[in-house]
Amino acid sequence: MEDQVDGNEDYGDKLPVGFRFLPTDVEVVTHFLINKVIYNPFSSFIFQEINATDLYTKSPKNSVQFCNGEREWFFFIYMDMNIDNMHNKAIEKGGDELGFWQSNGDRKCVKDTNGNILATKITFLYFSGSPSHRRKTHWRIDEFRLPIQFYTLHNSK
């Protein structure tokens, strides 16, 4: 008997023992991010949806609900103007918690096999404390963004 996947059910309990979701950067962009942006339906049981404000203005342990005992999670993050403007700065403060997200270097290009740029990737690290007395934590986000031209071409936000 086959299960019908409609993207609204939790399939974590139906995965085989030892299953690991380990997509490459190109796979994350081409199979998941692009399909999400152009409203192409797919099974998204691996991805949670979260508002950027909830993610970037709180401590990571207080901003999202983690599941399946995994140490790596995938999210679709909805950006709002306040957070989008914060990404142009080096540091995002952690709201009520004592901590902040900081970018870890330059944006890297995610390219297809022909060398075409599919997306950019930037890594953010979470630090506890203040910027002058910070302590690096184990929390890290690799954020993928499609080029602005993609949205224009596909008439999407």
For the chain, give every domain's residue range: 19-155
Query: Of 123, 122, 126, which is closest to residue 138 (Cα–Cα)?
Result: 126
Q: Could you report the per-residue pLDDT of 30-44, keeping only the tens digit for each?
A: 988 988 888 877 666
pLDDT at 155: 72
Fold topology of 19-155 = 2.170.150
Model confidence, pTM: 0.73
Structure tokens at 151: 């949205």
Instruction: Name the residue with tokens 């902040």.
Output: 100
